Amino acid sequence: MRIEILNTGTELLLGSTANTHGTWIGQELVKLGLRVQRQTTVPDGQAILDSLRETSIRSDVVLVTGGLGPTSDDITREALAEVLGVEMIEDEAALRSLHEFFEKRNKPMVEANLKQAQNLVGADILPNNNGTAPGIYAPPRLGGDPKCAIFLLPGPPRELYPMFHDEVVPRLKALAGVDEIDNVQVLKFVGIGESDFHDQLDDELANIDGLEVGYCARLGEVDLRLIGPDAVIAQGRELTVSKFSEYLISDDGANLESVVVRELIKHGKTLTTAESCTGGLVASRLTDISGASSVFTHGFVSYSNEAKSQLIGVSTETLAAHGAVSEEVASEMAKGARLTSGSDFSISITGIAGPTGGTKDKPVGTVCFGIAGPKGIKTFREMHPRGRRDFKQQVSQRALDLVRRTLKSDQ
């Protein structure tokens, strides 16, 4: 079933309002096993008419958002009537709802609102309990040609979301029929690049009949998306895991910080952080997860040398001999933070975020990590040369992955 989204609204193209409809509707359709083929955003005005015509010729279903308001630039209803070649008619129930809406709020209804009670002959009114704009559903063949089902939906999310669930989903299910529905699985990997997948996996995945494969790379993270019937997904998954199991962090969409918190909870262990160059980002990511308080109690942001000595007992001799960015200091940071907090595990990070502070031996991007646990301390020295924010994000990702790997091997 070919489904398109058509968003209307000049503000969306000026960037003054973020267009979140595509993301939200896309996710909701995936849950139904359906997919969006294309999303188009046009300004208010004539472009709505043109794009309605194009999308309805190309698709089986068009989901239109916006342009149902009371003002002069809201012309989606009229545009659809013209495209389908049908008349408009006042809907009594919609008019009654409008009156009730204003009575409930002790506000007078102005004449401009009257056009919101207009329906297309042969179409359904979709009630709106959260605003003045009812939706409209024009079933296929309403206008003869094109033979496409068209939904007109309000723009504000608090009106769109409930109407989508109550009115759109049941109609989409009926239109789609059960046998068309594919599944989707997202495998999340950390510590490996998109090109590694291409080199070692792409060709073999392409040989699996009926499997669609997609990638999405973020900083320090790759999502592999497998789409198809369950048995085909399982086959793709098995092949992938056989090559990259050590990098696989989740198969349910959970991000790295969730996985770390989940593993700590599972094993009944606690973690502390001793951060220099990441400046609290690792602690902040852990505490984004509800339930973090049961596994994370103390975090140290020891940004200066003095703080490293005072808070977590790094010796001034070690600092003087090796410099703050060294495996020796990372080791003492991890050791001191673990002791001071009484946590089971600790992760330390010390590095040079830049843009200043680099030297020939330790250029911008140099990072040392320490991870301490019941079995001792390990340290790592790596290069992550990037802009300051990306550096922090990438290094925090690496730190959390070191914790994940340690929890996996030390249990």
Q: Tell me how far, at minimum, the Cβ of 196 lies from a second copy, in Å.
A: 7
C-alpha dihedral over 164, 170, 176, 182, to 10 degrees? 70
Is the torsion defined by CA of 284, 286, 291, 297 positive or negative? Answer: negative
Q: Which of the residues 380 through 399 are near a second copy (CB under 8 A)?
A: 383, 385-390, 392
Q: Tell me how far, at minimum, the Cβ of 107 lies from a second copy, in Å.
A: 8
Binding mask 120-139 for a second copy (x = CB under 8 A): ----------x-x-------
Is 299 an interacting residue with respect to a second copy (CB under 8 A)? Answer: yes
Is 404 an interacting residue with respect to a second copy (CB under 8 A)? Answer: no
Structure tokens at 378: 């390990």
Is 47 an interacting residue with respect to a second copy (CB under 8 A)? Answer: yes
Quote the DSSP letter at residue 180: G
- Rounded Cα distance between 282 and 178, Å, is 44
Is 14 an interacting residue with respect to a second copy (CB under 8 A)? Answer: yes
Is 207 an interacting residue with respect to a second copy (CB under 8 A)? Answer: no
Q: Tell me how far, at minimum, the Cβ of 366 lies from a second copy, in Å.
A: 12
Closest to a second copy by CB, 254 vs 311, is 311
185, 250, 287, 309: residue in contact with a second copy (rule CB under 8 A): 287
Closest to a second copy by CB, 21 vs 404, is 21
3-state secondary structure 177-215: CHHHCCEEEEEEECCCCHHHHHHHCHHHHHCCCCCEEEE
Q: Which of the residues 64 through 83 are near a second copy (CB under 8 A)?
A: 69-73
Q: Which of the residues 302 through 331 are near a second copy (CB under 8 A)?
A: 302-304, 306-307, 310-311
Total residues at the site for a second copy (CB under 8 A)?
A: 111
Is 110 an interacting residue with respect to a second copy (CB under 8 A)? Answer: yes
Q: Which of the residues 146 through 185 are near a second copy (CB under 8 A)?
A: 156, 158, 184
| The 345-351 sheet, strands edge to edge | 271-275, 345-351, 366-373, 376-383
- Rounded Cα distance between 281 and 287, Å, is 10
- Rounded Cα distance between 202 and 394, Å, is 25
Quote the DSSP letter at residue 105: T
| Triad 71, 74, 75: Cα angle to 5° | 135
